[in-house]
Amino acid sequence: MAVLYACSFAPLALFDAFGLTSRRLVPSAKDPAVAGGMLHDNLCGHVKGVLERIFSWPDPQDLFLVVVSCDAMRRMADALLETWGPARVLVLDLPVCPDEEGMRYFAASLIKLGQRLTELTGRPLHAHALYRSLALRNELAEHLERLRGQVHTEGVRTGPAGAMNVLRELTDLPVGEALERIDAFLAPPPLPRDPNTVPVYLFGTIQPDPRYFDLVVEAGLAVTGLGTCDAYRPHEVAFALAPELSTPALLEAYASALLGRSPCPTLCRCERSSTLVAHHLAAAHACSARGAVLLTLKYCDPYLAKVPELRRAFQEANCPLLVLEGEAGPNLPGQARTRLQAFAELLTARGVA
């Protein structure tokens, strides 16, 4: 039995503790009618793409976790519960803000999810099993920091596109097997960046289409930093562990660690949006980027609401920002190539190449 998920806040260590395999679903939008038959067409393309993948999934025994991070995900959870019923659908609510109150709320949600998994699998959740799972996820997170460093020097296989492939491959492996194979992924020595390219920081929502990276390279840009939600965030778990903690205490610590990952727009509402902006500005600076590219989806309200503030902040920091808005399907925005080329020319004209 596997647990399918589509959000980087999925508690993978909790699934490990139950002996369950976790598989991340990359959305597909080849047939919009699949989601259109259940939900309104003016919904985020990510949600529609995830629904399409779910209904084409071959194993009827697998479970699906919906992390409710926005209104669109809540609608998907309601649709799946009505279609499949609670026997196959798990729901995990994210808090509005990652503050102390939000952490307690999320910890209670994790405890409830653990109880639900016990009902479905017939296995109790033992503190020692959870502790070991968290320790292994910590170890994997530490190894992947090396991968992040190599991406900054364009040294992992084919650079950031290759890094994304590595991250996705590792995500789908059991954590023990991922740790055994991590050194093979990191074996190629870093390669120097082409001095004729302009380094940029790429961030935004989940990016299922690697052709964006091809367009970036064709335009004469080099992605030296990744900030998409399907890059490193699923593996940013590392935190201090104490073996004597009880199961509820471990889940509380895990909830705090999950919410403490790199900021997500769904957790940075109202006055906390400055946290998200500051994070991406710092990340762009850390990877020596001379510009930034934001990838977002149509109807993705959490990110689109932050675009004006992001534009202002990057402008004030003298770091040009290009915003590309599209769907989560096989077709790239028609003007993506042209706009990336124009962006590269702008950066070159500014004398930052």
Give the domain ranges of the chain.
2-124, 130-236+265-349
CATH fold of the domain at 2-124: Rossmann fold (3.40.50)
Give the Cα separation of 251 and 111 in Å (integer): 7
What pLDDT was estimated at residue 142? 81
Strands, E, within the chain: which ranges? Answer: 2-5, 21-24, 63-68, 89-93, 198-204, 221-228, 291-297, 321-326
Distances (CA, A) of 259 to 1, 11, 100, 266, 283: 27, 11, 10, 11, 18
Residues in the chain: 353
What are the 10-residue block averages of pLDDT along the chain, 353 residues in total? 88 93 78 68 76 82 90 87 88 88 93 95 93 89 72 50 69 80 66 73 73 78 79 66 84 89 71 78 90 84 84 94 74 74 88 51
What pLDDT was estimated at residue 64? 93
* Single pTM value for the model: 0.85
Query: Fold identical between 2-124 and 130-236+265-349?
Result: yes
What pLDDT was estimated at residue 218? 82
What pLDDT was estimated at residue 352? 47
What pLDDT was estimated at residue 155? 39
What pLDDT was estimated at residue 187? 59
Determine how many CB atoms are found less than 10 A away from the CB of residue 312: 12
Evaluate whether the domain defined by 130-236+265-349 bears CATH number 3.40.50.11900: yes
For tokens 């260590």, the residue is 13
Q: Furthest-apart CA pair in the chain: how many Å? A: 64
Distances (CA, A) of 254 to 245, 306, 331: 12, 28, 38
What pLDDT was estimated at residue 154? 47
What pLDDT was estimated at residue 156? 42
